[in-house]
């Protein structure tokens, strides 16, 4: 197997339970991340049934495209564990009982006869290398097929990790892989892609741009590959700088080196400052998002979930006449909430959310109308129009509040 800058990899996940939705696959994502770090990006992942012909066809196709094919599942001791037979069919080899595996198994059972199913896990494809399983019974297997290396792993995630870390990954080599990420909270993926289109057309060899879009942010991943880490970092640095510059020239985009919550906690920690949250429609999501970041205890004083209109007055000091005149969904109410929580909890900064999460409009305000505000050394408020269902609106409202706070802190 290559010890250079890596190659193409594919993953085949075996199991009727995966296709039926009874079990969620966890292996492909973990393998994809670990293989990419070694310079073996996964180009394709397929899920197939517990069927010899189907598995054999999937492995044959993968071998025709990739230098490394990892197959997970189907190595147990029941009648539907047929991955060994499928690989044997692809390789034109027999399935044989491994004497050393059988001896070790019988030693564990002492004087008792092992179950037939347990003995099946001692079977290997003739010519394959046995990969010890530190976390279970069924070993992995590795063998060359055509121009590719095929690796069989059990389907149990902890066993995949154990065998991969002890036997698969160390053998890959793969040179150096360096990834830098830029995080853009509440950004539109299409706008981000347009901003980087010219840069993508002029990327140096060995550098790729990838996009990961979520409800809360777009992450731009710039990855460089090569034989030497220092050389890859030198190659990547001007690309990252150019990407940052291109994105910062787009109005409305906030470009961060880390996810928004972590960036906010880091900024407040560096200044020795604290924050407090007053939340209506977000119901504690703003505070919870901050608490998810290690070190949040140094900056978060606490929060008030003032969901009911009268609680905005009693707990936060929002003027009752303002609430009576304007209702809860109002920019001045948001500003008063931020000021009230800052004062009551003794924080340097107060941040607030109020708005309509749906499913129905409220007091003439449409679903998705959200007001966020910040009170502190610098104060600001913002009205935003969000789309989507109730959960998405609430989540994005929390992100919008934290973004406004970070803008004020900076």
Mapped to the 3 state alphabet, what secondary structure does the chain carry? CCCCCCCCEEEEEECHHHHHCCCCCCHHHHHHHHHHHCCCCEEEEEEECCCHHHHHHHHHHHHCCCCEEEEECCCCCCCCCCHHHHHHHHHCCCEEECHHHHHHHHHHHCCCCCCHHHHHCCEEECCCEEECCCCCCCCEEEEEECCEEEEEECCCHHHHHHHHHHHHHHHCCCCEEEEEEEEEECCCHHHHHHHCHHHHHCCCCCEEEEEEECCCEEEEEEEEEECCHHHHHHHHHHHHHHHHHHHHCCCCCCCECCCHHHHHHHHHHHHCCCEEEEECCCCCHHHHHHHCCCCHHHCEEEEEECCCHHHHHHHHCCCHHHHHHHCCCCHHHHHHHHHHHHHHHCCCEEEEEEECCCCCCECCECCCEEEEEEECCCCEEEEEECCCCHHHHHHHHHHHHHHHHHHHHC
Confidence of residue 177 (pLDDT cuts 50, 70, 90): confident
Radius of gyration of the chain (CA): 28
Nearest Cα residue to 28 out of 86, 76, 71, 67: 71
Phi-psi category of residue 366: left, alpha or beta, with phi > 0 → left and psi -120 to 50 → alpha:
beta
Query: Which tens digit of pLDDT belongs to each residue from 249-284?
Result: 999 999 999 999 999 999 999 999 999 999 999 999
**pLDDT above 80 for 376:** yes
Check residue 2 and give its pLDDT.
46
Given a cut of 50, whether residue 188 has pLDDT beyond it is yes
Q: What's residue 344's pLDDT?
A: 98
Query: Residue 191 has which token pair?
Result: 């706008």
204-246 pLDDT per residue, tens: 998 999 999 998 999 999 999 888 889 999 999 999 999 999 9
Mean pLDDT, range 289-306, rounded to an integer: 98
State pLDDT tens for residues 94-103.
999 999 999 9
* Domains observed in the chain: 9-171 (3.40.980.10), 176-249 (3.30.70.60), 260-409 (3.90.950.20)
Task: Give the per-residue pLDDT at 3.
Answer: 39
291's CB contacts (< 8 A; 6+ apart) are 300
Residue 5: the pLDDT is 53
C-alpha closest to that of 315 among 352, 276, 341, 338: 341
pLDDT of residue 1: 56
Judge whether residue 16 has pLDDT over 50.
yes
* Per-residue pLDDT at 4 exceeds 50: no
**pLDDT at position 174:** 65
> CB within 8 A of 129, min separation 6: which ones?
141, 142, 143
pTM: 0.79
C-alpha 165/C-alpha 132 separation (Å) is 11
């Amino acid at each position: 197997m290559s010890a250079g800058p890596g190659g193409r990899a594919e993953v085949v996940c075996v199991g009727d339970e995966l296709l039926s939705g009874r079990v969620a696959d966890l292996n492909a994502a973990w393998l994809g991340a670990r293989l990419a770090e070694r310079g073996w990006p996964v180009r394709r992942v397929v899920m197939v049934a517990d069927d010899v012909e189907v598995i054999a066809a999937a492995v044959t196709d993968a071998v025709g495209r990739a230098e490394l094919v990892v197959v997970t599942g189907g190595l147990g001791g029941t009648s539907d564990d047929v991955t060994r037979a499928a690989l044997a069919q692809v390789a034109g080899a027999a399935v044989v009982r491994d004497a050393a595996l059988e001896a070790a198994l019988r030693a564990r059972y002492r004087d008792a006869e092992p179950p037939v199913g347990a003995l099946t896990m001692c079977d290997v494809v003739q010519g394959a290398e046995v990969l010890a399983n530190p976390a279970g019974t069924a070993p992995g297997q590795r063998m060359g097929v055509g121009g590719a290396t095929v690796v069989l792993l059990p389907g149990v995630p902890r066993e995949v990790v154990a065998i991969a870390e002890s036997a698969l990954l160390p053998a890959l080599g793969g040179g150096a892989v360096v990834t830098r990420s830029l995080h853009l909270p509440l950004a539109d993926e299409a706008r981000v892609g347009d901003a980087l289109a010219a840069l993508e057309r002029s990327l140096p060899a060995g550098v790729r741009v990838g996009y990961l879009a979520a409800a809360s942010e777009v992450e731009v991943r710039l990855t460089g590959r090569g034989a030497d880490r220092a050389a890859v970092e030198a190659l990547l640095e001007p690309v990252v700088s150019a990407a940052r510059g291109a994105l910062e020239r787009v109005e409305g985009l906030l470009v961060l080196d880390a996810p928004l919550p972590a960036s906010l906690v880091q900024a407040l920690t560096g200044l020795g400052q604290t924050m407090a949250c007053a939340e209506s429609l977000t119901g504690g999501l703003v505070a919870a998002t901050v608490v998810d970041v290690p070190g949040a205890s140094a900056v978060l004083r606490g929060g008030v979930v003032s969901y009911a209109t009268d609680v905005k007055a009693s707990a936060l000091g929002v003027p009752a006449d303002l609430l009576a005149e304007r209702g809860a969904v109002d920019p001045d109410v948001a500003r008063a909430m931020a000021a009230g929580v800052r004062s009551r909890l003794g924080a340097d900064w107060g941040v607030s959310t109020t708005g309509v999460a749906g499913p129905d409009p409220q007091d003439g305000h449409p679903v998705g109308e959200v007001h966020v505000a910040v009170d502190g050394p610098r104060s600001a408020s913002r009205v935003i129009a969000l789309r989507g269902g109730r959960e998405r609106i609430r989540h994005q409202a929390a992100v919008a509040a934290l973004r406004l706070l970070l803008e004020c802190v900076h």
